[in-house]
Amino acid sequence: MRKIVFDIETRNIFSDVGSQNPADLDISLVGVYDYETGLYTSYVQEEFELMWPLFEKADQLITYNGDHFDIPLLNKYFKKEGRGDLSTIKSLDILKEIRNAYGRRMKLDQVAEGTFGVHKSGNGLEAVAWWRTGEIEKIRKYCLDDVKITKDVYEYALKNKKLIFKEGPFNKEIKLDTKHWELVEEIKTQSLFG
């Protein structure tokens, strides 16, 4: 199974576009980790042609808040170029799994701090500001840091069936049922009897 971990940074924010729909935003950069090659790569919008083959060969997309944000936003570009529909690829949204298990959402930074004792290297608002000042390398580093944290969170949860998050001075544990995370969907066959 070819798995892709990815994260998106944008050129603007919801208040700029007057909408809460992620697909109304514009992408500045996409960071990707490909399990098949073991490589971290990043792509600005003008380089998407080089990135699309990774997604076209993917069996699973791994994200943090991707079902709500990253996939619909990237899908806008994917569909526009006649590539297909990213929502047809199996998706594992770690934030959705946390919400289903724990009953609420939480920031990736809380999970990174609780599970690994590290913080994210920035935030999305900073990435938009960096875009506006032309600091692409800062966006690239921040986005790939988030991809690495998401990958590490995914692997930790898969191995330990839990994640830990920081809330105030306390670390709290979230038990996760990960048995469906890596299942390759079985091909269903029908028998026709006449």
Q: Residues 44-92: pLDDT tens digits?
A: 999 999 999 999 999 999 999 999 999 999 999 999 988 999 999 999 9
Q: How many CB atoms lie within 10 A of CB 189?
A: 5
Q: What is the pLDDT of residue 191?
A: 37
Q: What is the pLDDT of residue 188?
A: 34
- Domain 3-175 annotated CATH 3.40.50.620: no
Residue with structure tokens 């919801």?
14
Percent of the chain with pLDDT over 90: 87
Distance (Å) of CA 191 to CA 53, 185, 188, 194: 35, 19, 10, 10
The mean pLDDT of 164-188, rounded to a whole number, is: 81
**What token pair was written down for 103?**
């009953």
**Band of residue 183 on the pLDDT scale cut at 50, 70, 90:** low
The residue extents of the domains of the chain are: 3-175
